Each structure stands twice: as structure tokens, then as C-alpha cells.
Amino acid sequence: MDIILASTSATRQSMLRSAGVTPNAVASGVDEAPIKLSFREAGQSSTAAAMALAREKALAVSARHPDALVIGADQILDCEGRWFDKPADLPAAAEHLRKLSARVHRLETAVVCAVAGACRWEHSEAPELKMRPLSDKFIAAYVESESDQILHSVGAYRLEGLGIQLFERIDGDFFTILGLPLLRLLAFLRQSGALPS
């Protein structure tokens, strides 16, 4: 069975390929903003919103590729009830970091697998990260050094790079922080026969 990642995320693709999974990457076409807004207006949790987004992405692509196993994933950064989106530009990234400085945030991360337009498996995890106090000088130097690479992350950081210097504590799975609960996903793929066991 073909495996499709319902995302064009380079990080998620790289994680899967490094683990021996070679998915086709297909953009889901799901408009995330109205889904997030509806969950916020209904007072729903960021956990529920991330799962709904992952589910919508998996089902949208599965409807177009019913013979494949489709992986949908989503991640929402929740800091004290405020949800963060990917920064639009470098000044916005710097503002993200100022707001996250010296605070704990959660990365609500969800993954869903669908086949023939139906969900077959879903899982969520929420690593917690505490950012150390950051000076404006450090933030400016960090943003200049990392440049556009940090615009692909909801928190404006990459733990696999200089972003590790932003933190004083990290509780959770490294792969999940990068955007995919990889160990649990691989276990499901083996259980389902999509990967050898």
C-alpha cells in the first residue's frame, strides 16, 4: 500500500524518510484558519483543534487517493491559552519569541491515518517547553542568524539548530516537538502491515 503524507512539510518528510518510510507528499488543500477559528469561538481546546486539523487533512487527501494510507498531522503552539500560528516574517518571529520568553508552552501535536476516506488511527501528544528569559539583543541576533528557516515553525525556532539555546527545560518526545509523534506512528504502520514488523 502506498503511503502519502498529507503535507509538504520538509521536516515531516525528512523524519519519515530517515526512519525508512518513503511517502509521497501531497498538499491537503485544507484551509486551517476557519477551522481554528470555529474551535476558538466554541471554547474548544487546542488539543481538539489540532486533532480536527490532522483529521481533515488526512481525509481530504484520502478522498483523492482511496487506495493509499494517508498520514495527516498538525501542531498548535498553546502558550497560556493563546494559540500561535507560523510567523509571517522575521519581525513577527521576533515578536513570537518575546511573547514566549520565560514562559511554558505546549505543542499540541496530532497525527491521523486514513484509508479509503475513513480514519483508521489517531494519536496526540503535547510536549511542554519552557523558554528561558530572552533579551532583545539575543532575539535580534538569533533571528538574523536563523533567518527564513524559523518561519516554518509555529514557535519561530528549530530545536535541531540554534533554537535549542532558547530553552531551559523540555518535557516530551523530540520527534513530536519537530511535528510528528514518530514512534507511535511507526508502531501503527507496522501493526497495519504498511511497514514490515
Neighbours of 48 (CB within 10 A): 15
- Asked whether the predicted pLDDT for residue 1 surpasses 90, the reply is no
3-state secondary structure at position 74: strand
Are 156 and 167 within 8 A, CB to CB?
no
**Is 2 one of the catalytic residues?**
no
Q: Give 12: exposed, middle or buried? Use CB within 10 Å, 0-12, 13-18, 19+.
A: buried
Output the pTM of the full model: 0.94
* Per-residue DSSP letter, 20: T
Write out pLDDT tens, residues 79-136. 999 999 899 999 999 999 999 999 999 999 999 999 999 999 999 999 999 999 999 9
CATH value of 3-191 in 3.90.950.10, 1.10.10.10, 3.30.2290.10, 3.40.920.10:
3.90.950.10
Average pLDDT over residues 147-159: 92
Dig out the grid coordinates for 119 from the structure.
480514519
- Choose, from 67, 74, 136, 148, the residue flagged as catalytic: 74
In the chain, where the domains are located? 3-191
